[in-house]
Amino acid sequence: MSRLPLVTPEKADADQADLLADVQRQLGRVPNLYAALANSPATLRGYLALHSALAGGTLDARTRERLALLVAADNGCDYCVAAHTFRAGRMGLSEREIADTRLARAEDPRTDAVLRVAHEVLHERGRIDDALLAEVRAHGVTDAELSEVVGHIALNVLSNYFNHVARPELDFPPAAPTEDRTMTRKWRTATRIELVEGYTLLDRRGAATAVVDDARVAIEGGFLHVEVDGAAAVQIMSAPAVARVDYRPDAA
């Protein structure tokens, strides 16, 4: 049950009713996130204004959706992960693309650069180095797009954090959770993980690499789950992508 009440049209005042009607026109429905945000018309109005402004920017809709999904996964917001997984699927993103997005990577080099810089901005609170900026610019990411990446992070941090406070009931198809995913897995300590050429994991600095030392791993359903200290989330690799795993001798 939501910790903040969901504002319905029947209970809304004039200001709230106008905002909820605007949401209904844009989305065809009023998701519970928006109904909870309507407790403060000022907050909902600000969220909608920033959302609308960024939708008119230079980043395309699929990239905007991938940024929203990445930020939600990094922030552990299961509501927003479910919502943006659903929307990404409706836009034609494959299951592999959706899973990769949650790990800040993409097959397309330019999209990959956008996701990696977003991940770094989020985790370093904007204090990224010149080398990363030069790298993403080399992939064709413009200064306008870099600016919008920061804007989308701010927009989605607002919705993620609000969901953490309000805990609205999930009204999207559930996606793989971002939290408490270790309960049924048997984790072991790996001293080294080597991937097949063309595949990468994120190391503790958030850099893509084919070799990771000292990580926790678990095998489940034909996938290797990897937990690297300092990384945003558990990373998942299909078995054919893994060339070698060396375990610590005394690993359970």
Same domain, 29 and 76: yes
The Cα 172–Cα 68 span in angstroms is 15
pTM for this entry: 0.71
**How many structural domains compose the chain?**
2
Q: Count other Cβ atoms within 10 Å, centred on residue 165.
A: 10
Same domain, 13 and 136: yes
Is 72 a domain residue? yes
Same domain, 148 and 229: no
Distance of CA 50 to the CA centre of its chain: 18
pLDDT mean for each 10 residues of the chain (252 residues): 90 95 91 97 97 96 97 93 94 93 92 94 89 92 97 97 95 75 63 89 85 86 74 70 84 49
Is 24 a domain residue? yes
Q: Which of 156, 110, 154, 160 is nearest to 135 (CA)?
A: 110
Residue 202 burial (10 A CB sphere; 0-12, 13-18, 19+): buried
Please, are residues 244 and 186 in contact by the beta-carbon 8 Å criterion?
Answer: no
Last residue of a domain, one of 146, 175, 204: 175
Q: Which of 148, 204, 125, 195 is nearest to 136 (CA)?
A: 148
Per the structure, the complete domain to which residue 20 belongs is given by: 1-175
The Cα 202–Cα 56 span in angstroms is 32
